[in-house]
Structure formats: structure tokens, C-alpha cells
């Protein structure tokens, strides 16, 4: 499993180094075009433009799950990490 952070901000080249220095993510963070980001997210046009999004993509490049930042899955700080961990464990267990 690989976690990636991606932004499509027009100012990403300028803003990303400061974000990385401040947040210190433990995973790779990069940027792409708006069109590339939207192409990874499924749903109607409005849903695809909603940020943030958490998208699970399998090795074949298929979206297997996605959650808008406003979803119950990600909404509550106390549940967010547990929800993500539980989901990842289920994915990994299914591979066995």
C-alpha cells in the first residue's frame, strides 16, 4: 500500500514546499493538473470537484472507494483515523 498526497492548486509549485515543511507528511506529496485530479475521482461533475477527497485506487488503477471530505467517513476527527485504518485492514485482509 502506498499513501500519496496530491494537490492541483495552480500555485502548487510555489505553495507545496511550505506545506510540506509545516505539515511534515510521512508520505510523498506532489501535484498534478486539475484535469488529471478530476479524472481520478468518480461521480458526477460536482462530486469530482469537491475537496478534499480520499480515493483508494487498486494496482490496476481502478477506484475501489472514495470519500468526500464532508462524508461521515471523514467528517469527525475522532473517527477519521479509525475509519481509514479499519478500511485498509479490510482491504489487506481480502487479499489473503
Query: Domain segments of the chain: what residues?
Result: 1-40, 43-96
More confident residue, 3 or 1: 3
CB 66 within 8 A of CB 43: yes
How far is the C-alpha of 39 from the C-alpha of 82, rounded, in Å? 28
DSSP label of 8: -
Q: Is there a contact between 62 and 52 (Cβ–Cβ < 8 Å)?
A: no
φ and ψ at 83, to 5 degrees?
Answer: -60, -45
What does the pLDDT look like over 72-86, one tens digit per residue? 888 777 788 899 899
Q: What is the pLDDT of residues 10-20, one digit of tens each?
A: 888 899 999 89
What's residue 67's pLDDT?
86
> pLDDT at residue 71 above 70?
yes
The mean per-residue pLDDT over the stretch 42-70 comes to: 76
Query: Mean pLDDT for the chain?
Result: 82
Q: Which residues pair with 30 in a beta bridge?
A: 6
The sign one gets for the Cα dihedral 66, 67, 69, 73 is negative
88 near 64, Cβ under 8 Å? no
**Computed from CA positions of residues 54, 58, 60, 63, in that sequence, does the dihedral angle turn out positive or negative?**
negative
Amino acid at each position: 500500500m502506498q499513501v500519496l498526497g496530491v494537490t492541483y492548486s495552480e500555485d502548487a509549485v510555489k505553495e507545496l514546499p511550505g506545506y510540506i515543511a509545516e505539515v511534515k507528511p510521512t508520505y510523498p506529496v506532489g501535484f498534478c493538473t486539475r484535469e488529471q485530479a478530476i479524472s481520478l475521482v468518480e461521480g458526477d461533475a460536482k462530486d469530482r470537484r469537491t475537496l478534499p477527497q480520499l480515493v483508494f485506487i487498486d494496482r490496476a488503477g481502478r477506484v475501489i472507494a472514495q470519500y468526500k471530505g464532508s462524508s461521515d467517513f471523514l467528517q469527525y476527527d475522532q473517527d477519521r483515523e479509525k475509519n481509514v485504518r479499519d478500511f485498509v485492514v479490510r482491504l489487506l485482509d481480502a487479499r489473503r
